[in-house]
Amino acid sequence: MDGLIDPRFRLFRRYYKLIIPVIMTNIDILWAPWRMAYITENKDSAAEKTAVAVGPHADPKCFLCQAVFDDANDRTRFVIRRTEWTLSVLNRFPYNNGHILVAPRNHCGNLSGLTETEKIELIREIDRWTEILTQHMSPDGFNIGLNLGHAAGAGLPGHLHWHIVPRWNGDTNYMATIGSTHVIPQSLEALWTILTGK
C-alpha cells in the first residue's frame, strides 16, 4: 500500500510529530480562560435573561440592540458610551483587559448598510477609545478589527461591531491566575467606572 502514497506524504507522516510541536511553539497564545463561559453558555437563554423591548428594526435577541434600547441599565450591560449613531460596550468575555466593542446603534450586518455619518462616527469613537485606553492603561499596541460574517469568526454577524483590544509586550506569555469567575465581573465593573467616570 505504501507504494501508492506520495513519497513526500510518507516523509511528512514519519516526521510530523517532530514538526508540529515546532510550529506550535511559534504561535503566541493570548490566555483568556474566562472566555470559556462564552463558549459554553446557552446563547438563547442568555438572550432571554436580558431581553428588553426593542425598536421595529432591531433584533430582540441581539445583545447590542438590547443595550441600545435599555438605557437605564448601562452599568449592568457594560455600556460605556452612547452617541447619536454609535454604542460602545465592554466585552463581557474579553480577550484582554480593556477589550471594547464599538457598534452602530442600528442592527446592521453589512458595511454597505451604514450611512456616511455612521461610518465617520464609528471611526471617531474607535479613535477616541484608543486615546482613552492609552491614557488609562498604557498599552504597547492595539488589535482593532471587525469580523464580518460567521466564517470570519463573528459571534454576532447581524450587528457590526469593532473590537478594540489593548496589547502589552509579553501579554501572550502570561498565565492567568484567576481562579474564580467572580473576579472578572468585578474587574469589568471597575473598568466601567473608570471609563465612564460614574
Burial category of 60 from C-beta neighbours within 10 Å (exposed 0-12, middle 13-18, buried 19 and up): middle
Q: Does 154 bind Zn ion (CB under 5 A)?
A: no
Stretch that binds Zn ion, among 5-13, 38-46, 92-100, 107-115 (CB under 5 A): 107-115
Q: Which residues are catalytic?
A: 161
Binding mask 8-37 for Zn ion (x = CB under 5 A): ------------------------------
Which of 107, 122, 139, 184 binds Zn ion (CB under 5 A)? It is: 107
Nearest Cα to 46, choosing from 108, 112, 92?
Answer: 92
Return the exposure string of 10-25: e unless at least 16 CB atoms fall within 10 Å of the residue's CB, then b: eeeeeeeeeeeeeeee
User: What cell was used for 1?
Assistant: 500500500
Q: Does 64 bind Zn ion (CB under 5 A)?
A: yes
| Number of CB atoms found within 10 A of residue 111's CB | 12
The DSSP 8-state label assigned to residue 103 in this structure reads E
To Zn ion, the closest distance from the beta carbon of 58 in angstroms equals 6
To Zn ion, the closest distance from the beta carbon of 101 in angstroms equals 12
| Number of CB atoms found within 10 A of residue 34's CB | 20
Q: CA torsion, points 16, 17, 18, 21, in degrees to nearest 10?
A: 110
Stretch that binds Zn ion, among 16-24, 51-59, 83-91, 131-139 (CB under 5 A): 51-59
Binding mask 113-152 for Zn ion (x = CB under 5 A): ----------------------------------------
Nearest Cα to 101, choosing from 44, 158, 146?
Answer: 146
Stretch that binds Zn ion, among 15-23, 99-107, 126-134, 135-143 (CB under 5 A): 99-107
Q: Does 65 bind Zn ion (CB under 5 A)?
A: yes
Q: Does 62 bind Zn ion (CB under 5 A)?
A: yes
# chain residues binding Zn ion, by CB under 5 A:
6
Residues that bind Zn ion (CB under 5 A): 59, 62, 64-65, 107, 159
